[in-house]
Each structure stands twice: as structure tokens, then as C-alpha cells.
Amino acid sequence: MQTEVKNNKGKADAIVKTAGSIYVFEFKMDDNATAEDALTQINSKDYAIPYSADHRKIVKIGVDFSQIEKGIKRWVIE
């Protein structure tokens, strides 16, 4: 696992690599943005592009945390 992985357009919050997949995560707090906003950021800032030549499946995950409940509120996967 790597955190705050930089590219020329920004930085992904987390990248997790397993034997079969690469997971690209972007995290948001519910009062600032949604899980959909996080997924849009992954795509607009090309966070998954550096892994496109890899043989593993790329999974993009936008996560929205709840400040009140102190946990994951919602996530979306692409």
C-alpha cells in the first residue's frame, strides 16, 4: 500500500496492489464532497493511468466518510 501517490495532475490518496488487482482510492469527508466526487477526481486527474500497462485489473474506489458517525458513509466502485 502507498499513500498520497503523486502524478502530474495531483495525488491519489491510496494505491493498494495485490496479486490480481490494483486499487486506486480517493477519500472525501461527507461535508465537503461525496463518494461520486472522489471517483470523478480519480478519473479527471488520471490517477490510474500509471498502472494501465500492468496486467492486473484496475479498480477505482471513491469513499465518503461521515464526520458524525466516524466511519465510511458510502463508497462507489468503477
Domains with residue ranges and CATH for the chain: 2-77 (3.40.1350.10)
Long-range CB contacts (within 8 A, 24+) of 14-22:
15/51, 17/56, 18/56, 19/56, 20/56, 20/57, 21/56, 21/57, 21/58, 21/59, 22/48, 22/51, 22/54, 22/56, 22/57, 22/58, 22/59
Residue numbers of the chain with a pLDDT score lower than 50: none
Q: What is the pLDDT of residue 71?
A: 93
pTM confidence score:
0.91
Beta bridge partner(s), residue 62: 26, 76
Instruction: Please write the tens of the pLDDT for every residue from 68-78.
Output: 888 999 999 99
What does the radius of gyration of the chain's CA atoms come to, in whole angstroms? 12
pLDDT at 63 (0 to 100): 97
Q: What is the pLDDT of residue 30?
A: 80
Q: Which amino acid is at 4?
A: E
